[in-house]
Amino acid sequence: MTDGEEGWKGRSILVTGSSRGIGRAVALELAGRGAHVILHHRANPGAAEGVARAVRELGGTADVVSGDLSDLTEIPSVAREVLRRAPRLSGLVNNAGMYEEASLSKLTPRDWERTISLNLAAPVFLLKALAPRLARQKGAAVVNVSSILGLRSAPGAYAYQASKAAVIHVTRALALELAPRIRVNAIAPGFIRTDMNQDAWTHRSFSRQVIRETPLGRWGEPEDIAAMVRVLLSPDSRFVTGETWLVDGGKGLR
């Protein structure tokens, strides 16, 4: 096994949407292993700086960059700032995303376009901007965050489901194009207790239903996802690419 601190020293990894939730947990997990993390946020500098402080308390190093990734014209400037702060970038976690619950009757073109842009287009165009630099580093790896709803269907949230399903397919295609220099995998979280879905896990009856339907008997935590992301970025997964890893406590089995 090579996933110890020595395997992370000198590695810089960008985590998008890392001011809270899964992104925050991923950043802290990687920093705790010795990686230098680039924390990205859209409009919450206070929270991002709070994560940076937490990273430093762990003995790690962090830089903060900002930008609205749903606006594809901003991606080149975000990428330039990332590379300025991390010239030896070796990892990317495409975590930033949004969720719209809208039923078909309430779905609007604006909601559809914004969700598809952030959840699907942004990871592709950000990787396009960063790939030449990533390819220079030994062991470069990318993890795209999809969802259980990219693999299992449910009523509503159509733009979200479409974007997360497409992320899985695009991950496979990118893995083919970028091999052997860059590995690209995806992770599909199940029901995770994050700020974004707080209404769901604080709703008593729905929360209990999720627990009943999950073989491991609980909601997931951001740290459960962070641990799997860390494995996929590490040298221990050096022969793994183009795969999507479902981390859902077994809920998808039912």
- What's the rounded Cα separation, in Å, for the pair 244 and 144? 9
Residue 179 DSSP code: T
Angle between helices 158-178 and 122-134 (to 10 degrees): 20
The dihedrals phi and psi of 11, each to the nearest 5 degrees, come to -90, 135
Catalytic residue flag (residue 158): no
The dihedrals phi and psi of 36, each to the nearest 5 degrees, come to -90, 120
- What's the rounded Cα separation, in Å, for the pair 17 and 8? 21
Annotated active-site residue in 160, 191, 219, 245: 160
- What's the rounded Cα separation, in Å, for the pair 29 and 95? 14
Both tokens assigned to 161: 């489901």
State the Cα angle at 92 between 174 and 169, rounded to 5°.
30
Beta carbons of 216 and 189 less than 8 angstroms apart: no
> What are the angstrom distances between the C-alpha of 170 and each of 86, 97, 153, 177, 239?
26, 16, 18, 11, 19
State the Cα angle at 42 between 26 and 121, rounded to 5°.
80
Both tokens assigned to 224: 């459960």
Question: Peptide bond preceding 155: is omega within 30 degrees of 0, i.e. cis?
Answer: no
Both tokens assigned to 5: 């601190």
Catalytic residues: 160
